[in-house]
Structure 1
């Protein structure tokens, strides 16, 4: 099947689903074909919660929140139903940081706030403010503070410098 707009064959996986195989930068933005990109996170990896947190933190610290989002998304999709809200909210925080670092002030702030709201709601519903050692109240403060800075048009935040600490 061809992509008519570009004249290129569409990238497909083994099952025939469309996939974009273009290389990407550290914030997940597509680069031109043939460019040197950052290795993508494999999709669909099932990790223990502690592994998810450790891998996501390492990616956040490296300034790769887009990739951390993918790790959280794997946990969201493969974890128990009662934890999906936790992992979804953490993924939203990572995407919020990604958009903020890309200069998307409205989208970044909105996703940071959505993630913070999701964490608070999940903690209140479950009575677990520190699941797997993750300090949800501190993440709420981090996200709302960064959202305000982004909306106030502070300089575009550097993803690594502004990465949250998931555990104290």
Structure 2
């Protein structure tokens, strides 16, 4: 019987220390897997509990750096660890980050679809609670940004620059 390498199961899949399937391949700024041994972008740690303010600040920094895939992971942490009443907000913001990721990768159809889905989720959450600026978030502006970007990527079908197209989560 062949030896199984540490961090790998018998099927050849990478595993994290808890035994969950988790690719150890490095990734680029848009979350695309790179060949083993390549220099990649440091991954966001998963399962981090942040305050809402920390979540928004960290996600904005990642979006501005052209790393929407990583911003999605920050929003996903908030969605999974935050109060039930806020899950729709954080899930919608995560969908927007994934929509930006797909659009920057050239998947304009999927990107536009996720941008619209995220915009609808954020807008619905905001309307249900009559909260348009929770944690300083500009949900009206973010929704308008997503709707506009979805229309543009569908129309042009060209790659976009994720950092240039990043939304402003907060407005003064």
TM range (shorter): over 0.9
Q: 2:120 aligns with which of 117, 120, 134?
A: 117
TM-score w.r.t. the length of structure 1 is: 0.95
SS in 1 for 2:161: coil
Query: Post-superposition shift, 1:2?
Result: 2.8
Query: Post-superposition shift, 1:156?
Result: 1.2
SS in 2 for 1:152: helix
Could you report, residue by residue, the CA deviation over 1:74-122 in whole angstroms, capped at 9, with x for unpaired residues? 0000000000000000000000000000000110000000000001100
TM-score w.r.t. the length of structure 2 is: 0.93
Aligned runs of 1:1-40 on 2, under 5 Å? 1-3=9-11, 9-40=12-43
Structure 1: how far apart are the matches of 2:95 and 2:139? 13
Q: 1:91 aligns with which of 84, 91, 94?
A: 94
Tell me which residue corresponds to 2:51: 48
The answer as to 2:74 corresponding to 1:71 is: yes
Tell me which residue corresponds to 2:161: 158
Could you report, residue by residue, the CA deviation over 1:103-147 in whole angstroms, capped at 9, with x for unpaired residues? 001100000000000011000111111110100010111000000
Runs of 4+ in 1 over 4 A off after TM superposition: none
Structure 2: how far apart are the matches of 1:147 and 1:20? 30
SS in 1 for 2:29: coil
- The unaligned stretches of length 5 or more in structure 2 are 1-8
Structure 1: how far apart are the matches of 2:19 and 2:133? 41
Structure 2: how far apart are the matches of 1:2 and 1:19? 14
SS in 2 for 1:34: coil
- The unaligned stretches of length 5 or more in structure 1 are 4-8
Tell me, yes or no, if the aligned pair for 2:30 and 2:68 is still in contact at 8 Å: yes
